[in-house]
Amino acid sequence: MNNPIDSDSTPQVPLVSIDNLCRSFQMGKQTVHVLNGITMTLARKEMVSIVGASGAGKSTLLHIMGTLDRPTSGKVLFEGKNMFRVSETALAGFRNRSIGFVFQFHHLLPEFTALENTYLPALIQKIPKQQAMDAAKSLLSEVGLSHR
């Protein structure tokens, strides 16, 4: 018997919803179209891979999804909210609280340990240091990097 209140039967808003996303760059007098009409949705905890040839727009797509870049046109919604309609301050807060980046070329602060690099964003959120350290230790352990 289906229970209409059961959370499994309740439609969920996608974590990320992308509709007709386009990104172009001006190179002198020429317009270079990098992303052309990308449409996709990602559910919470869904694992995906974005693959393609060099120059296909993978990094551009990821930068837009991570709110580091803005689309030329189209919509990018996070839990139904268009993050590109909020202030830069709100966007920075959103990235700090909700987005995790793993860069191809690491952007760690070399003078800090892996633990310190991991808990620094929590300190920016004004989370108490011990709580931030405990969470960072847990995260590093989860990905097999607690020894770093």
Domain boundary assignment for the chain: 16-86, 108-148
How distant, in Å, are the alpha carbons of 50, 59, 71, 112, 134 from that of 68?
17, 11, 10, 24, 28
pTM of the model: 0.68
**Residue 101's pLDDT band (cuts 50, 70, 90):** confident
Query: Which tokens in the block code for residue 131?
Result: 């709580």
Q: What is the pLDDT of residue 97?
A: 86
**Strands ordered across the beta sheet of 30-42:** 30-42, 16-27, 73-78, 81-82
Residue 92 above 50 pLDDT?
Answer: yes
SS3 state of residue 36 = strand
DSSP annotation of 27: E
pLDDT tens digits along 32-41:
999 999 999 9
Beta-strand relationship, 30-42 and 73-78: unpaired
Phi and psi torsions of 35, nearest 5°: -120, 130
* Torsion of the alpha carbons at 75, 81, 84 and 86, rounded to the nearest 10: 160
**Total residues found in the chain within this entry:** 148
In a 13 Å sphere around the CA of 20, the CA atoms on its Cβ side amount to: 2
